[in-house]
Structure 1
C-alpha cells in the first residue's frame, strides 16, 4: 500500500506539472503531496529534514543562476547573440543552424538549460525570421541542446548538481570527464538535424545585413568571471551557488545604480521585485517538495526494484545499461526524480553516476515529459503560435537519443580509462 500511495503521489505531481491547470505553479501540487508523504509516515520527519538540507545548496544555485540569466538577458546578451548569429549566417539556414548549435551549447553549459529554453528560444525565432529561414530546425535545436548539451559542467543542469557530491569529483575533473561525451553528442545531434530537417534547411537564402548591435561587454565580462569562479571556488570549498549569487549581485547592482533618478524608490522597488520573480521561488519550492516525494518512492518497493536493476560495474556494458536505465526512468518519471532515485545506489562508482547523468540529460529528448525544460520549451512555442507536432518530436527523439547515448557512453568509457578511473 505504501508503494502504491508513494508512486501515485509522484505521478500526480508530475501530471500536474505537465498540465499546469489554471496556470498554477508546479508547487501547488508538490508541496501538499510532500506534506501527505510526511504526515502518512512514508518519510519520517528527520529524513525529510535531512533531504531538505541536502537539497538546499542546489536549490540556492538554481535561484541564483535564474536571476543571473535574467539579468544577462536584460543587459542584451541574448539579443547580441541573435544579431551576431543573423550576421554570420550570411542568410544561410544551414549556417544559422551551426551557429545556433554553438550558441545553445555554450549558453546551456554556462547559464544552464533553462536559459536556453526560456531566453534563447525566442531570440532564435526572431533570428530565423530575420534571414527568412524556417524556424523549426533552429528552435528544435534549442530544446535538444538544452538537455543534451547540459552534460559539460556541474552547473549546467540541476541533475548535475544533485549528483555532483556523489561523484566525489572536483569541478574541473567533472568537466574533463564530460567534455568528450559533450562534444560527441553535439556532433551527432548536428549531423542528424542536418539530415532530418534537410527540406526546411533548403529554403532560399535571404542575404540581409541586420542592424549592428553593440556587444554588452560588461555583462559578458561578468559571465566570464563567474564561469572562472565556478572552477576556482571548488578547491576552496565554496559552493557554486555563492559564485552565481555574486555574479547576479554585480549585474543587479549596476542595473539598480543606472536607474533614472526620476524613477526614485518605486523604480528600484519594481526592479527588485522583478529579480525576486526571476528567482522563481515557486519552482524552488517544487524542487524541495519533489525531493521528499521521490524519497518516499525510493524507500518503497518500487525503489527496491530499481535498485535491483542497477549495474554494479563501470565497464562498457555496465555504463550502457546504467545510461539506458536512467533514460527510460527519466521518460517515465521525469529526469529530476530519476536522478534522485538512481544516484544513491551507484554512489560508490563515479563512472556509474556520470552514466546516470548521460541518461537523464540525453534521454529527455525522447518525450515531452522527460524534463521540465522541454515542457517550458513547448510553452514558448505555443506562445509564438508555432506548436510542435508531437509525431515529429517523437520521431526526432527516436533517432537522436539512442545514437547520442551510445556515442556518449563510449566517450565516457574512454575518458574514465584516460583518467585512470576504469
Structure 2
C-alpha cells in the first residue's frame, strides 16, 4: 500500500511536470536511502547488543560524584547534540534513541523524559549546519545563501538559542520526572560489569559503528557510507541467531526479516506529501502564499509570521513538504532562516510533523516501549511557540 501511494503521487507529478518530478527524486532519494540504510544498521546493531555495550561503557565513565539521573541526562544530551549537529537529526532519532533507552534501563531512570530529550534536541537543535537537517541542505542549495559558510554565519546565533531552549526544556521535564522515580542522593558509581557474550555480529556491529560515525561527519556521500554499513551488518548477521530473541517459531526468509527493519510507512508518508506539495506548486496553488510571504521578510513581525506559518504547516502535514511548499515565497537569508526555524523547531506537536519524530517512534516501538502521545502533544503545544519565537527574535535583532 505505501508503495502504491508513492508510485501514484510521484507518477502524477511526472505527468504534470517531469522536471519537477526529477528534481524531487534527486533531492529526496539520497536522504530516504540514508534513513533506510541507517535503520538497518541501527536495528541489527541493537539486536546484537551493541548499544547495551556502549551504554554500559558510557555509564561506567560518568562523573562519580554526580547523581545518577543527572549523569544519565548529561550523557544523553551530549550524544544527541553531537549527533544532531554533525550527523543530522534523523541519525539522532535512529541512533541515539536506542542508546538513551539502554542508558535509562541500566541506570533505572524513567525512559519517557530521556526519550523526549532525544527528539526535542533532534528537532529544535538541527539548525546550525546544513548537514544537521534535510531542510537546511535544501535551503543552503537554494541560492539564497552564498554557500555553506554563509549559511553558518547567518544561522549560528539563532541555532545556539534554539539548542539552549531544547536543553533547558529537556532539563525541566527530566528533573521533574526523575525526582518522582529516583532518590536524589543516588550517585553514578560504577557497577560490576555485566557479562557480555561477544559473538561475530556484536563485534561486527561495534566495528562498523566505530567506522561509520566519523565517516558521516566527512564530505563523503552519507548515503553511500550508510548503505555500505548496512550491507556489512546484513552479511555479518547471516546464520547468527538473535541473542535477544527467544523461541520465535517458524523462521522468516532473511530478505523479509531485513526488509522489516526499514520504516517503509514513514518514508512513504514523507515522499507522498512532498510530491503533493510539488504538484500544488506546479499548479500554482501556492502562489498566493508565496506572494504573501515576500513582503514580510524585512521586519521581526514578518519573520515571526513566516516561522509561525512554517511551524503550523509542518504540524498539519510534515516539515519536509511544508518547506518545499513555502520556500518559493522567501528570497532573503533572514526570511529563509526564519522559515527553517519554523519547520525545524516547530514540528513538536503532532506525531507526523517531522520524519525524525516518526523514526524516533519507530525505534521506541521496536524496543517494546510505548509513546504517550497525549503527553507528547501537550508538551509540544507549550514548547513549540517558545522554540520558534526566541530564535526568530534573534534573527530579527540582527537584521
- Sort the TM-score into its range (normalised by shorter chain): 0.7 to 0.9
Tell me how far 1:362 sits from its aligned partner. Answer: 0.8
Write the distance in 2 (CA, Å) between the matches of 1:270 and 1:309. 53
- 2:114·2:174 contact (CA, 8 Å) conserved in 1? no
Tell me how far 1:378 sits from its aligned partner. Answer: 3.1
Superposition RMSD in Å: 3.8
- Name the structure 1 match of 2:21: 51
Write the distance in 2 (CA, Å) between the matches of 1:278 and 1:350. 39
Q: Give the match's secondary structure for 1:330.
A: helix
Task: Report the structure, 1 or 2, having the larger helix content.
Answer: 1
Alignment size in residue pairs: 367
Show CA shifts across 1:197-222 (max 9, x none). Answer: 43322222264525399995774455
- Name the structure 2 match of 1:341: 325
- Name the structure 1 match of 2:5: 29
1:322 to 303, 306, 316: 306
- Name the structure 1 match of 2:355: 372
Show CA shifts across 1:350-372 (max 9, x none). Answer: 22122111101111112223123
- Name the structure 1 match of 2:76: 100
2:33 to 63, 66, 71: 63
- Name the structure 1 match of 2:248: none
Show CA shifts across 1:23-57 (max 9, x none). Answer: x54x443432444xx3xxxx573624433234414
Residue 159, structure 1, aligned to residue 135, structure 2: yes
- Name the structure 1 match of 2:190: 209
- 1:109·1:155 contact (CA, 8 Å) conserved in 2? yes
Write the distance in 2 (CA, Å) between the matches of 1:63 and 1:138. 28
- Name the structure 2 match of 1:82: 55
- 2:311·2:345 contact (CA, 8 Å) conserved in 1? yes
Structure 1 residue runs without a partner (length 5+): 1-23, 231-242, 263-268
Write the distance in 1 (CA, Å) between the matches of 2:55 and 2:283. 48
Residue 310, structure 1, aligned to residue 285, structure 2: no
Write the distance in 1 (CA, Å) between the matches of 2:271 and 2:352. 19
1:360-399 equivalent positions in 2, closer than 5 A: 360-384=343-367, 386-399=369-382
- After superposition, the Cα gap between the structure-2 partners of 1:80 and 1:146, relative to the gap in structure 1 and judged at 3 Å, is farther
Show CA shifts across 1:352-410 (max 9, x none). Answer: 12211110111111222312332333344445554333332223112221222122213
- 1:69·1:115 contact (CA, 8 Å) conserved in 2? no
Write the distance in 2 (CA, Å) between the matches of 1:135 and 1:356. 32
1:404 to 383, 387, 394: 387
Write the distance in 2 (CA, Å) between the matches of 1:160 and 1:285. 21
Residue 190, structure 1, aligned to residue 167, structure 2: yes
Write the distance in 2 (CA, Å) between the matches of 1:381 and 1:77. 16
- After superposition, the Cα gap between the structure-2 partners of 1:137 and 1:259, relative to the gap in structure 1 and judged at 3 Å, is closer
Tell me how far 1:321 sits from its aligned partner. Answer: 1.7
Show CA shifts across 1:169-203 (max 9, x none). Answer: 42333234333323222222222233234332222
- 2:299·2:396 contact (CA, 8 Å) conserved in 1? yes
2:279 to 274, 296, 300: 296
- Name the structure 2 match of 1:14: none
- After superposition, the Cα gap between the structure-2 partners of 1:218 and 1:381, relative to the gap in structure 1 and judged at 3 Å, is closer
Show CA shifts across 1:102-124 (max 9, x none). Answer: 21122223333233223322221
Structure 2 residue runs without a partner (length 5+): 197-202, 241-252
- 2:263·2:362 contact (CA, 8 Å) conserved in 1? no
Show CA shifts across 1:258-287 (max 9, x none). Answer: 79999xxxxxx969x95x877777766665
Write the distance in 1 (CA, Å) between the matches of 2:32 and 2:149. 20
Tell me how far 1:67 sits from its aligned partner. Answer: 2.5
TM-score of the superposition, structure 2-length normalised?
0.76
Q: Give the match's secondary structure for 1:310.
A: helix
- Name the structure 1 match of 2:97: 121
Write the distance in 1 (CA, Å) between the matches of 2:113 and 2:266. 29
Residue 224, structure 1, aligned to residue 196, structure 2: no
- After superposition, the Cα gap between the structure-2 partners of 1:284 and 1:405, relative to the gap in structure 1 and judged at 3 Å, is closer
- After superposition, the Cα gap between the structure-2 partners of 1:30 and 1:183, relative to the gap in structure 1 and judged at 3 Å, is same
Tell me how far 1:413 sits from its aligned partner. Answer: 4.3
- After superposition, the Cα gap between the structure-2 partners of 1:374 and 1:285, relative to the gap in structure 1 and judged at 3 Å, is closer
Write the distance in 2 (CA, Å) between the matches of 1:226 and 1:292. 28
Tell me how far 1:288 sits from its aligned partner. Answer: 4.8
